[in-house]
């Protein structure tokens, strides 16, 4: 009698090979579509298909008519106002990372939002400047227009240099938009899967370090040139510390005070977010206070601090990108496009799961691509989504992208009417606000310990990505990180996890015998498991591990057994006359149950006459050859985790099986029957 403990199941069926199963059960012939079939379907036209394409291309058509005006409008307005105020300040602050006048950051916070409202599929992310992208664009700007640039003519004035830098930023933004748009049109949204969470985390953390170092010159108010080359961060730090005695004390003190206030209030927002009706808008409060103090005290004249200066009112005339600039920044445009999409899609995915609505990766590429094309045409710089700004939009009650439209209206008011109020604001305040938004990214250092305990490969990817992005630069660092990540995939495939399983505590549950103390291995049986596909790159590794697990190399011994191999997809199984009896949970077996089911214990003596090959066991080995005795009569290959075997793997596997069954090349002539692996020939 079997006493079940918890849930259990029993399976009794014949053991099939692939060929035997196909002989018994007729297979249906299915028509598989060819490339031309897919092409015809893609270019087919019908009213239903046109409607589907329109809804996919313009998602606003599907959700706007279903907008719950009375329930959602107030929440969207409140969320939009809060998000708009943050967007204004972040636009000004992140413009410093791009090395362009602050007013151009407002364009980057305005145009992409309007485009995303029509084409985007996420309801909660706030589109606009992102510090990592701003820094990547700023690296291109610094490389093509360094501080000692002489401009298009012979002028060396700051205005001419700024105009050139704005043109470079707009051109590389336009290029990244084209790349994103093409990737979306050709359905390449899946590329984000090649940027793992560990890689993105390490990369954004490295970018946060770059942002921190880049803002030091504004905090200390020092003339530090840009070094957009490998190990540029070291040259930047060297330049800063070589001039540290020339620090503007007023700017430094202001920066430290602002940083302290921002960090303390943000910590309060995080700790008491459930009790606060809305996060404290500390960036807005600090900016207003700093602008008022600067206006009345006149820091610019008294302490020679750097201020934002007059913001240009109204919009710039649209411009075409500079072809010469595009030719010099193709690689940068591709990396900016991919990083911007990967970060935005990762954030959007979090909110889509939380609020249960679908996302379309290809449509997101199209939305961000068009946003960057329009933004670059109006002299803005690359946009994605800032984690902190999206958090404000969602936490303050935002339901749809109506909140994004409200936030863009706030930015529009600043551009057209009240931008002059920010003119006396110190640049060191904007630098501190930019650093205040890095807390989340800098806290990602905690992930290293977690990854080391969970998956050492992911931990190494994080560390390599971080170090390469910090020291080699964001563009080269990203390419290095992706290459290294793909290398780890190759290594994992070439060195699969191969283990010998044992019965844990007589429970009929089989696990790695090295992980448990109370184990039982059936006498004469080895259960060998491989946890990855077996193909040409790892078949030799698999063969060596299998031979090691079995014991001495089969080709160097005369075995005392015949070796039938069972390919099974069951972790726990017992052979019966009817088939397999599998148990998911421990069961207590009585003698009566064993007798009724006629279960053969694995450790019972093997009857040689029932084995599929005949060997003349009386034959002696050649003179002078001695071999160890090996008491193994069966090997079970657990292929439950093997998704495929290629031709090379099948060939080598068949040879290994043949060697095991024929004992050695020297004894082949002593065998009476040839052996094949049915179903895997």
Specify the pLDDT at position 225. Answer: 79
Find out whether 475 and 139 touch, Cβ atoms under 8 Å: yes
DSSP 111-141: HHHHHHHHH---SS--EE--HHHHHHHHHHH
10 Å CB burial of residue 364 (0-12, 13-18, 19+) is: buried
Where are the extended beta strands (E) located within 115-252? 127-128
Secondary structure (3-state) at 94: helix
Candidates 236, 176, 238, 187; CA nearest to 212 is 236
Angstrom distance (rounded) from CA 442 to CA 457: 21
Residue 600 per-residue DSSP state: P
The per-residue pLDDT of the chain, averaged, comes to 79
Token pair for residue 281? 């808008």
Q: Report whether pLDDT(601) > 50.
A: no
Candidates 280, 265, 261, 259; CA nearest to 392 is 280
Specify the pLDDT at position 587. Answer: 40
Taking only the tens place, the pLDDT of each residue in 252-308 is 998 899 889 988 888 888 888 788 776 777 877 888 888 888 878 777 777 778 788
Interacting residues of 553 by C-beta distance below 8 A, sequence separation 6+: 547
**For residues 50-60, average pLDDT:** 88
Among 79-83, 159-163, 394-398, 607-611, the least confident range: 607-611
Among 452-466, 490-504, 517-531, 580-594, the least confident range: 580-594
Task: Please tell me the pTM assigned to this model.
Answer: 0.72
Q: Report whether pLDDT(247) > 80.
A: yes
Q: Give 615's pLDDT tier (boundaries 50, 70, 90).
A: very low
Q: Report whether pLDDT(668) > 50.
A: no
Q: For the chain, count helices (H), then strands (E).
A: 27, 12
Specify the pLDDT at position 640. Answer: 86
Find out whether 232 and 473 touch, Cβ atoms under 8 Å: yes
Phi, psi of 549 (to 5 degrees): -70, -35
Candidates 528, 522, 521; CA nearest to 500 is 528
Among 49-58, 318-327, 663-672, the least confident range: 663-672
**For residues 47-66, average pLDDT:** 88
What's the distance, Cα to Cα, between the start and end of the chain in Å? 42
Angstrom distance (rounded) from CA 431 to CA 446: 25
Q: Give 626's pLDDT tier (boundaries 50, 70, 90).
A: low
Q: Report whether pLDDT(468) > 90.
A: yes
Find out whether 203 and 339 touch, Cβ atoms under 8 Å: yes
Q: Report whether pLDDT(397) > 60.
A: yes
Specify the pLDDT at position 630. Answer: 55
Q: Report whether pLDDT(455) > 50.
A: yes
Among 52-61, 196-205, 272-281, 324-333, the least confident range: 272-281
Conformation bin of residue 272: beta by default, left when phi > 0, alpha when psi is -120 to 50: alpha
Candidates 619, 659, 609; CA nearest to 635 is 659
Specify the pLDDT at position 623. Answer: 57
405 against 29, higher pLDDT: 405
Specify the pLDDT at position 552. Answer: 52
Q: Report whether pLDDT(598) > 60.
A: no
To the nearest whole percent, how much of the chain has pLDDT over 90?
A: 23
Taking only the tens place, the pLDDT of each residue in 338-363 is 888 988 888 888 788 888 898 898 99
Q: Report whether pLDDT(477) > 60.
A: yes
596 against 533, higher pLDDT: 533
Taking only the tens place, the pLDDT of each residue in 121-172 is 999 999 999 888 888 899 899 889 887 654 444 445 778 888 899 999 999 9
Among 108-122, 245-259, 618-632, 639-653, the least confident range: 618-632
Specify the pLDDT at position 251. Answer: 87
Specify the pLDDT at position 624. Answer: 55
Among 29-33, 277-281, 608-612, the least confident range: 608-612
């Amino acid at each position: 009698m079997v006493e079940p403990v918890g849930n259990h199941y029993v399976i009794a069926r014949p053991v099939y090979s692939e060929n035997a199963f196909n002989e018994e059960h007729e297979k249906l012939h299915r028509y598989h579509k060819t490339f031309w079939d897919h092409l015809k379907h893609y270019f087919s036209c019908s009213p239903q298909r046109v409607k589907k394409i329109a809804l996919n291309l313009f998602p606003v058509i599907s959700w706007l008519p279903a907008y719950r005006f009375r329930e959602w409008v107030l929440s969207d307005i409140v969320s939009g106002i809060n998000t708009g105020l943050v967007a204004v300040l972040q636009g000004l602050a992140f413009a410093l990372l791009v090395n362009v006048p602050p007013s151009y950051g407002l364009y980057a916070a305005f145009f992409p939002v309007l485009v995303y409202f029509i084409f985007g599929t996420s309801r909660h992310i706030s589109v606009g400047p992102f510090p990592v992208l701003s820094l990547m664009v700023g690296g291109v700007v610094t490389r093509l227009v360094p501080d000692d640039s002489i401009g298009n003519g012979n002028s060396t004035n700051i205005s001419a240099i700024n105009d050139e830098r704005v043109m470079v930023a707009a051109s590389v933004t336009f290029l990244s938009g084209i790349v994103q748009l093409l990737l979306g049109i050709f359905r390449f949204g899946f590329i984000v899967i090649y940027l793992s969470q560990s890689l993105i985390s390490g990369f954004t953390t490295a970018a946060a370090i770059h942002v921190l170092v880049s803002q030091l010159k504004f905090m200390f108010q020092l003339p530090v040139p840009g070094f957009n080359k490998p190990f540029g961060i070291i040259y930047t730090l060297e330049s800063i510390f070589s001039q540290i005695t020339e620090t503007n004390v007023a700017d430094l003190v202001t920066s430290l005070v602002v940083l302290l206030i921002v960090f303390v209030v943000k910590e309060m927002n995080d700790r008491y977010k459930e009790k606060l009706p809305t996060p404290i808008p500390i960036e807005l409060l600090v900016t207003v206070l700093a602008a008022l103090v600067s206006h009345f005290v006149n820091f610019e004249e008294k302490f020679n601090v750097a201020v934002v200066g007059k913001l240009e009112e109204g919009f710039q005339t649209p411009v075409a990108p500079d072809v010469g600039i595009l030719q010099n920044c193709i690689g940068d445009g591709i990396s900016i496009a991919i990083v911007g999409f990967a970060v935005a899609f990762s954030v959007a995915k979090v909110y889509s799961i939380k609020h249960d609505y679908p996302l379309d990766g290809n449509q997101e590429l199209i939305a961000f691509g068009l946003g960057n094309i329009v933004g670059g045409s109006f002299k803005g710089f690359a946009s994605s989504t800032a984690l902190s700004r999206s958090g404000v939009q969602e936490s303050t009650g935002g339901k749809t992208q109506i909140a994004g439209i409200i936030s863009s209206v706030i930015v529009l008011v600043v551009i057209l009417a009240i931008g002059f109020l920010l003119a006396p604001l110190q640049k060191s305040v904007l630098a501190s606000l930019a650093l205040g938004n890095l807390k989340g990214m800098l806290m990602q250092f905690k992930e290293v310990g977690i990854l080391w305990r969970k998956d050492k490969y992911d931990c190494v990817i994080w560390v390599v990505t971080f170090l390469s992005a910090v020291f080699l630069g964001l563009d080269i660092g990203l390419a290095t990180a992706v290459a290294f990540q793909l290398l780890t995939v190759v290594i994992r495939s070439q060195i699969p996890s191969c283990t010998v399983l044992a019965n844990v505590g007589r429970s009929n549950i089989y696990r790695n015998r090295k992980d448990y103390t109370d184990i039982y291995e059936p006498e004469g049986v080895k259960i060998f498991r491989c946890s990855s596909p077996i193909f040409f790159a790892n078949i030799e590794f698999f063969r060596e591990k299998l031979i090691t697990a079995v014991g001495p190399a089969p080709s160097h011994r005369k075995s005392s057994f015949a070796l039938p191999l069972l390919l099974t997809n069951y972790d726990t199984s017992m052979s019966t006359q009817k088939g397999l009896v599998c148990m998911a949970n421990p069961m207590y077996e009585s003698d009566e149950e064993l007798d009724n089911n006629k279960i053969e214990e694995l450790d019972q003596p093997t009857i040689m006459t029932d084995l599929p090959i005949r060997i003349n066991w009386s034959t002696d080995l050649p003179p002078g050859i001695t071999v160890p005795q090996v008491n193994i009569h069966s090997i079970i290959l657990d292929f439950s985790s093997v998704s495929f075997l290629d031709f090379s793997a099948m060939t080598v596997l068949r040879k290994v099986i043949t060697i095991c069954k024929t004992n050695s090349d020297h004894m082949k002539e002593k065998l009476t029957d040839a052996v094949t692996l049915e179903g895997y020939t």
